[in-house]
Amino acid sequence: MDLASQALIIDYDFGESNKQVVNAYKLYCGPFKPDQVTGRCPKSWTLEASNNTADWTVLDSRQNQEAWSSSYNNSECRLMEFENDTAYRYYRFKATAAQSGTVLEIV
């Protein structure tokens, strides 16, 4: 995904009568092939929630995160925790920057 022109957005719908309270998530970066770089890992992003897809609430926002330590045959996992006690139907992860350059790789 090339972040030069737009953010990468990943949406999730828990279903009409299945709202969920989310207050943590994990991000994995890597493993990479020897010719790839950890610069493709996310650097800045938000996690947003909604019950109607028109009005979004920012639950978590991370900017300028330190470099990931992924390598060949090894991935790094980061646990992101935040305060939230409201159940939502829709969640979306919006990545706005990669560690370097404009290419972001989400697996």
Residue 32: the pLDDT is 60
What is the pTM for the complete model shown?
Answer: 0.79
d(CA 98, CA 107): 14
Q: At 61, which helix (H) or strand (E)? A: strand 57-62
Q: How is residue 39 annotated by DSSP?
A: G
For residue range 43-83, list pLDDT tens digits in order: 889 999 999 999 999 999 999 887 776 555 667 788 999 99
Cis peptide upstream of residue 42 (ω within 30 degrees of 0): no
